[in-house]
Amino acid sequence: MLEPLLEEVDHLILAGDVWQQRRLGLGRGKALKKYEALKNLVSERGVRLEILRGNHDPEGGAGVTWLEDGAVLVTHGDAIYDEATPWSREMGHYHEQVVAVVKKYERQCHLAVACAERAREIALTLKPILLPSLPPPFNFLATALWPPRRTFEMLRVWRGMGKQGLRFLEHSGEGAQVLVCGHFHRAGIWEAGGRVFINTGAFMKGSHPWAVDLNAGEMTARELTLWGGVYRLGEVKGRWLL
């Protein structure tokens, strides 16, 4: 599905949550296999691949990467909020441990890499809680909406994520003008004070995936369109000269 997107690409960055490393049991093997197939596909095409870690795959990969001499910062997105995933189902259960992690990184918040370390520690602290297996659609509803606090936290984050991303860029971006991340499943562009925050959404039900490309100092954000079972570059959402 992603193969057509690799045309004319020489360096690909995947901004985390590429596979579900935290899944237990049989699902993990299946996810790992797909992940390996993706890596093979990209390397067969001669594309340099950089995979950042996310909260679902916190065990490998760098937390942040920089492009254009530090002007562009790419990270998964869980570094942006102190609690990384405030809507997490497990947050209530591990709240004290999470507070301790946040406190530990308090003095390093001006560094993006430290915020990403904090996010990784939180992801590893939140051990998955298994839900009872239910028939559809209750399985989906339980996954998405339980516990009820989860819905409120999601709405709060969706409302505030644009401002929060720009705030992170200003205080922790170490001089970067652009922040590109995913994580929140809501694609969009937010701009203020000469800074740009782009969220590339997600390849998931209810979200639209975007891609950002950099070419000779020109940055373009595009929607990815699913057509005939494959993704292609679609509508241009924004273009900037760096």
Binding site for Mn ion (CB under 5 A): 17, 54-55, 183
Least separation in angstroms between residue 140's CB and Mn ion is 18
- For Mn ion, give the closer residue by CB, 17 or 223: 17
Least separation in angstroms between residue 32's CB and Mn ion is 18
Least separation in angstroms between residue 137's CB and Mn ion is 23
Peptide bond just before 4 cis, omega within 30 deg? no
β-strands 64-67, 72-75 pairing: antiparallel
- For Mn ion, give the closer residue by CB, 122 or 176: 122
Beta strands in 36-184 (DSSP E): 48-51, 64-67, 72-75, 178-181
Token pair 């947050």 in the structure block, residue:
91
Least separation in angstroms between residue 26's CB and Mn ion is 22
- For Mn ion, give the closer residue by CB, 55 or 75: 55
Q: Which residue is nearest to Mn ion (CB)?
A: 183
Sign of CA pseudo-dihedral 160, 200, 89, 104: negative
Q: Is 66 exposed, middle or buried (0-12, 13-18, 19+ CB in 10 A)?
A: middle
Q: Chain centroid to CA 105: how far?
A: 20
- For Mn ion, give the closer residue by CB, 89 or 183: 183
